[in-house]
Structure 1
Amino acid sequence: MIRARTKLCECDSDYARFARFFIANSRQFSRNYQIDSAVAHVLMTLPTSRILMYENESGESIASVQYYYEADSDTAFIDSAVLLKEYRSSRIFFEGLRDLVRYVCRDYPAVRRFRFHVQAENRYLNRLYSKFADPAGEREGYDGPELIYVSELNRLKAYLRLEQAG
């Protein structure tokens, strides 16, 4: 059974590891995503984002999640999430999302909702996100229309079988 270990990026070597991983896997976001766009994304978002890296048993990076907190709406925006294809499974997704929610709630106790964006044509992710979030709009993304999903924290915690907020 594959176990992923979660690590919050805290130092320059962590951020460098994230940047390499993000750039190397940026085509997962869009078939048209170019390296210059990936580098620009990292440079523009690194100063304001929190980043979780996920490692396999050998210490190799298998996933990353980049998020930031929008204080005006008590919302955690999941800016990017990458999981290597060979590690994609419901269990890995579920455990990774649980870790993400725990980190966000620890770092931002006032958080009340989570927001995700996904390509409108990605039926798998749209079906998955609809299990724990509601559609909240649409926007034009890098590679076409994206659906915006929002999940209230209590609904997300119930889905993940985490203790309810007190």
Structure 2
Amino acid sequence: MLAQHLICRTDADFARYALFFIKNRHDFRNHITLPDALINILHTLPESSIMLTLDSSNKPIGWVNFRYVTTGYEHDPNGEIAFVDSVIVDEKYRSSRLFLDGFYHLAQHIANDNPQVLWMEFNVLASHSYLNRLYAKFATKVSEQEGAHEREYRYRGSFQEVKKYLSSIRKKR
């Protein structure tokens, strides 16, 4: 399946993101209520960027929420850390290929959007063994914390190393 990746820029793009999030909110967190999902969306949009993943009919099948922060984790459009807050992909479309393709496109966007980025960081639920194994290939687990409902790990990798890894995987496919 060929997918497209789109950085949300228009009200229509953000509406597509919000509708997809609401519909798939239980993939974000098992027991999230509709009001909590709406509050999350409202808190996310001012400081974050959203990359939608679209299927061949231009329908959203996933998104990545990311932002730029300083080493002190303060919001900064020129921050040296690209922090991926969350990623959701519709279960019927999940595959290693789609995940790595989306991650590659995200890294390319970040490289073009903010040349000051030195690091990439992301949280993953401790129970997601596949993602923990994948992230450990190009990043280091730097912390553990209790999330809203489950333990989370934070990974950090050199942005150049992440790009290099994703490029090498892409060439193999």
Pairwise CA distance, 1:58: 0.7
- Residue 152 of structure 1: aligned partner: 158
Partner-residue secondary structure (3-state), 1:118 = strand
Pairwise CA distance, 1:29: 2.3
**1:139 aligned to which of 145, 150, 164:** 145
Aligned length: 161
Pairwise CA distance, 1:134: 0.8
Q: Does 1:112 align with 2:118?
A: yes
- Residue 59 of structure 2: aligned partner: 60
- Residue 80 of structure 1: aligned partner: 86
Letter of the structure 2 residue corresponding to residue 109 of structure 1: P
**2:98 aligned to which of 92, 106, 115:** 92
Taking the aligned partners of 1:160 and 1:105, their CA distance within structure 2 comes to 13
Where does structure 2 lack aligned partners over 5 or more consecutive residues? 72-78, 169-173
Taking the aligned partners of 2:15 and 2:48, their CA distance within structure 1 comes to 14
Q: Deviations over 1:10-34 (max 9, x none)?
A: 1111111111111211211222222
Pairwise CA distance, 1:118: 0.9
TM-score normalised to structure 2 length? 0.88
- Residue 41 of structure 1: aligned partner: 40
Letter of the structure 1 residue corresponding to residue 150 of structure 2: G
Letter of the structure 2 residue corresponding to residue 116 of structure 1: F
Q: Percent identity?
A: 36
Q: Deviations over 1:86-135 (max 9, x none)?
A: 11111111110000001111111100111110111221221121122110
Partner-residue secondary structure (3-state), 1:159 = helix
Pairwise CA distance, 1:71: 3.3
Taking the aligned partners of 1:154 and 1:105, their CA distance within structure 2 comes to 9
Partner-residue secondary structure (3-state), 1:109 = coil
Pairwise CA distance, 1:156: 0.4
